[in-house]
């Protein structure tokens, strides 16, 4: 579904905005793309912490797998945020981009905040704080009155 939406966006977005239904399908396809990865990350993270003191080999294997899942989550989130920034909220065309209505702009900014937040969920330390701040900024920009 995500591949289909990328293709549709490539066709539609240069000339005009997505319809409300297309926006919802885009959001749903992006969420579905990440759903399994995020769930796997939570389960493997729990397994890693439970086996940390009991079985170091299992803990190490789980930790390695966590890093792989985290990199996949970050890749997908970066892809989604990039699509939003390039196709719907491009800076070079002002605040509107191809998000022609206030409702659409809020939708994309909130969606951008969500996917940045998902990246922060799999990071640690200063990188997590920076990404969380970026998510906060995306959510905050959605509150700005037009």
Query: Exposed (0-12), middle (13-18) or buried (19+): which is 106, by Cβ within 10 Å?
Result: middle
Q: What is the predicted pLDDT for the residue at 136?
A: 94
- The predicted structure's pLDDT at residue 29: 96
List the domain boundaries for the chain. 2-36+74-143
Predicted local confidence at residue 54, as pLDDT: 87
Amino acid 99: pLDDT:
67
- Give the pLDDT means over successive 10-residue stretches in the chain (146 positions): 90 83 94 96 92 87 94 96 89 55 89 96 94 94 72
């Amino acid at each position: 579904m995500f591949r289909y939406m990328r293709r549709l966006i490539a066709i539609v977005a240069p000339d005009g905005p997505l319809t409300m239904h297309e926006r919802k399908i885009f959001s749903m396809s992006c969420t579905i793309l990440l759903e399994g990865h995020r769930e796997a990350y939570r389960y493997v993270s729990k397994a890693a912490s439970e086996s940390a003191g009991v079985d170091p080999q299992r803990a190490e294997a789980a930790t390695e797998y966590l890093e792989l899942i985290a990199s996949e989550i970050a890749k997908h989130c970066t892809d989604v945020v990039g699509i939003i920034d390039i196709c719907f909220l491009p800076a070079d065309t002002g605040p509107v981009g191809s998000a022609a209505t206030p409702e659409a702009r809020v939708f994309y900014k909130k969606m951008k905040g969500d996917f940045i937040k998902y990246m922060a969920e799999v990071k640690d330390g200063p990188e997590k704080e920076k990404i969380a701040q970026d998510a906060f900024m995306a959510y905050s920009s959605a509150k700005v009155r037009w």
